[in-house]
Amino acid sequence: VSAGSRAAALFETTFAGAPEGLWSAPGRLNLIGEHTDYNDGFALPFAIPQRTAVAADPRSDGRLVVVSAERPGLVDTASAGLAPGTVSDWSAYPLGVLWALRQASGEEVLGGGLSLAIASDVPPGAGLSSSAALESATALAINDLAGLRLNRHQLAAAGRLAENRMVGAPTGILDQLASLLSRPDAALLLDCRDGETTPVDLGLAAAGLAVLVVDSGVQHRLADGGYAQRRAQCEAAAEVLGVRSLRDATLAGLEAARERLGDVLYRRARHVITENARVLSTVRLVGQGEPRELGPLITASHVSLRDDFEVSVPELDAIVEAALGAGALGARLVGGGFGGSALTLVPRERTDDVAAAVARTFAARGAAAPTPVEVHPSAAARREA
Ligand code: ADP
Ligand code: MG
| Nearest CA-CA partner of 268 in 299, 298, 297, 236 | 236
Q: Where are the alpha helices (DSSP H) in 106-218?
A: 130-145, 152-161, 174-181
What pTM was estimated for this model as a whole? 0.91
Report whether 354 contacts 328 (CB < 8 A). Answer: yes
Q: pLDDT at position 165, please? A: 97
Q: How confident is the model at residue 126 (pLDDT cuts 50, 70, 90)?
A: confident
Whose Cα sits closest to atom 16 in ligand 1?
90
Of the bound ligands, which one is closest to the alpha carbon of residue 123? Answer: 1
For a pocket test of ligand 1, which of 6, 131, 338 has the largest count of ligand atoms closer than 8 A to its C-beta? 131
Across the range 282-286, mean pLDDT stands at: 97
**Does residue 93's CB lie within 6 angstroms of at least one atom of ligand 1?**
yes
**Does residue 131's CB lie within 6 angstroms of at least one atom of ligand 1?**
yes
Taking only the tens place, the pLDDT of each residue in 216-275 is 988 766 556 898 899 999 999 999 999 999 999 999 999 999 999 999 999 999 999 999
175 catalytic? Reply is yes
In the three-class reduction of DSSP (H, G, I as helix; E, B as strand; rest coil), residue 374 is classed as strand
**Does residue 54's CB lie within 6 angstroms of at least one atom of ligand 1?**
no
* Ligand 1 atom closest to the CA of 52, numbered from 1: 23
Across the range 29-39, mean pLDDT stands at: 95
Q: pLDDT at position 222, please? A: 54
